[in-house]
Amino acid sequence: MERKNVVLTDADMSRQREFTEKIKELHQQRGKTVRALVDTFGCQQNVADSQHIMGMLEAMGCEFVTEPAGADIIVLNTCAIRDHAEKRVYGNLGALTHTKKANPEQIICLCGCMAQRPEVAEKVRQSYRHVDLVFGPQALWKFPELLWQVYTRRGRVFSVEDEHGSIAEGMPVVREGRTRAWVSIMYGCNNFCSYCIVPYVRGRERSRDPEQIIREVRQLAAEGYKEITLLGQNVNSYGKDLGTGYDFADLLSALDEIPGDYLIRFMSSQPKDASFKLFDTMARCKHVAKQLHLPVQSGCDRVLRAMNRPYDKARYLELITYARKVMPELVLTSDVIIGFPGETEAEAMETVALVEQVRFDALFTFIFSPRPGTPAAKMDDPVPRAEKQVWFDRLCDAQNKISEEIHAQYVGRTLRCLIDGQSDDSRWPLTARTAGGRLVHLVGDKAAIGTYRDVKITDSNTWALFGEMV
């Protein structure tokens, strides 16, 4: 794919700004404040997308509310990774029939990965007729034009065409808080893991120009953001489509030169594209957190092949051994799927054994959930859910024991942490994150929120650390 077919032109983006101004004028003519609600499901990329949607709505003159009943425009930004997330969305859509009945002028929008799936769009078309606008991630940049069509056509609008995808620079953004920021460095995915719907709904991989990313991160650092997370479906493949030889490690090196008191994190990573060069760069860069989320998914080579994951257990172990060698303080986390179609108990226990060997700091664990439209959804899956649950519980028990042991080793240490928010627990009213991303509950003055402070760790459990500012 040539770059000229990927990056949207200035004229494309100018056209959307024109629609934004038209909608703003329309809102002003109504003589009242137009209220909007954006509800986000799914991953951090969806969060970043929602912040752009909020930016567009703000530019249209909207103010934001938190309850559907008080909203004139509702946007549900959805996830298609797991069946549970889709059921939640359908439940929310059903509940919105009542708000629409009370306010017939209310505009309800469904967007995100779930909306891009043809069967979902058709279901919404037939069964959720109160939904006015449906669009996928690839059409996010033209949200103003689509919303204008809803206003002027007085009919429902669907924009879910299958596309390779594009890159839109210059979209407005509303960032929530002044502590953390999300920066998308690439979009789409080329991996086609057999269980995953993402490549079908987010298009092929396309990397942003590095200068655009550097400019955005420099601005965020200048504004005082303390954590900047780089996003992509597979950040390790950043730059491959640029044709310049410039890769993700090169981008990290460039970003590290930006002055300021901040940390750079990134997600998600694919082991097949991880490299020793990347780990050497992480070790060298003072602004890059020594934290790595590297999904292994399975500890069984046969299952990995069935998942279409192009690495084996030996290669994964080689990667993390080297990463830990150059970054002794590395915090390592991963994703694991239990109960993949055709997986046996012995193969599931290979995954448990790998977890015990690697000793991840934390693990994100899932029982296989078939996604329609993926190869895995068509695979024979004879093992009952109850049996998979037993395997899953063994995995969780193993990881919980490891996490508890690792966290106990923090007690007595003083760590530089980012104080990032408040909790509902009066005993530990503040929350913080270590440089490695571990959650800390602590006592202290809420005036410290948004700053780095030294925190003495006084206690721990399986899921978190506890401490006090010093």
Instruction: State whether 51 and 100 are in the same domain.
Output: yes
What is the structure's pLDDT at 84?
83
Instruction: State whether 319 and 460 are in the same domain.
Output: no
Which range marks the domain in which residue 304 is found? 180-403
Which of the 8 DSSP states describes residue 8? P
Instruction: State whether 368 and 436 are in the same domain.
Output: no
In a domain, residue 175? The reply is no
From CA 76, how far away is CA 59, in angstroms rounded? Answer: 19
Instruction: State whether 340 and 434 are in the same domain.
Output: no
Instruction: State whether 126 and 245 are in the same domain.
Output: no
In a domain, residue 174? The reply is no
In a domain, residue 167? The reply is no
In a domain, residue 304? The reply is yes
In a domain, residue 409? The reply is no
From CA 4, how far away is CA 8, in angstroms rounded? Answer: 8
Count H helices and E strands in the chain, helices first: 14, 19
pLDDT in tens, the chain (470 residues): 444 468 999 999 999 999 999 999 999 998 889 999 999 998 899 999 999 999 999 999 999 999 999 999 999 999 988 888 889 999 999 999 999 999 999 999 999 999 999 999 999 999 999 999 999 998 999 999 999 999 998 789 999 887 677 899 999 999 988 899 999 999 999 999 999 999 999 989 999 999 999 999 999 999 999 999 999 999 999 999 999 999 999 999 999 999 999 999 999 899 999 999 999 999 999 999 999 999 999 999 999 999 999 999 999 999 999 999 999 999 999 999 999 999 999 999 999 999 999 999 999 999 999 999 999 999 999 999 999 999 999 999 999 999 999 999 999 999 999 999 999 898 999 999 999 999 999 998 899 999 999 999 999 999 999 999 99
Kindly provide the b/e burial profile for residues 166-180, where b requires at least 16 CB atoms within 10 angstroms of the residue's own CB: bbbeebbbbbeeebb
Instruction: State whether 391 and 445 are in the same domain.
Output: no
> At which of 124, 159, 194 does a domain end?
159
In a domain, residue 169? The reply is no
What is the structure's pLDDT at 195?
96
CATH of the domain at 281: 3.80.30.20
In a domain, residue 201? The reply is yes
Which residue's entry shows tokens 């986390």?
Answer: 333
Instruction: State whether 152 and 184 are in the same domain.
Output: no
Q: Residue 403: count other Cβ atoms within 10 Å of its Cβ.
A: 22
**Helix or strand holding residue 417 (H, E):** strand 414-422
Instruction: State whether 226 and 101 are in the same domain.
Output: no
In a domain, residue 164? The reply is no
Instruction: State whether 343 and 268 are in the same domain.
Output: yes
From CA 461, how far away is CA 131, in angstroms rounded? Answer: 45
From CA 90, how far away is CA 69, in angstroms rounded? Answer: 17
CB-count exposure of residue 209 (10 Å: 0-12, 13-18, 19+) = middle
From CA 446, how far away is CA 429, in angstroms rounded? Answer: 8
CATH of the domain at 425: 2.40.50
Q: Which residues contact 122 (CB under 8 A, 6 or more apart)?
A: none
From CA 413, how far away is CA 39, in angstroms rounded? Answer: 39
- Whether the CB-CB separation of 420 and 397 falls below 8 Å is answered with no
Instruction: State whether 424 and 396 are in the same domain.
Output: no
From CA 331, how far away is CA 465, in angstroms rounded? Answer: 14
What is the structure's pLDDT at 337?
98
CATH of the domain at 50: 3.40.50.12160
What is the number of domains present in the chain?
3
Instruction: State whether 389 and 456 are in the same domain.
Output: no
From CA 280, how far away is CA 274, in angstroms rounded? Answer: 11
Instruction: State whether 154 and 257 are in the same domain.
Output: no
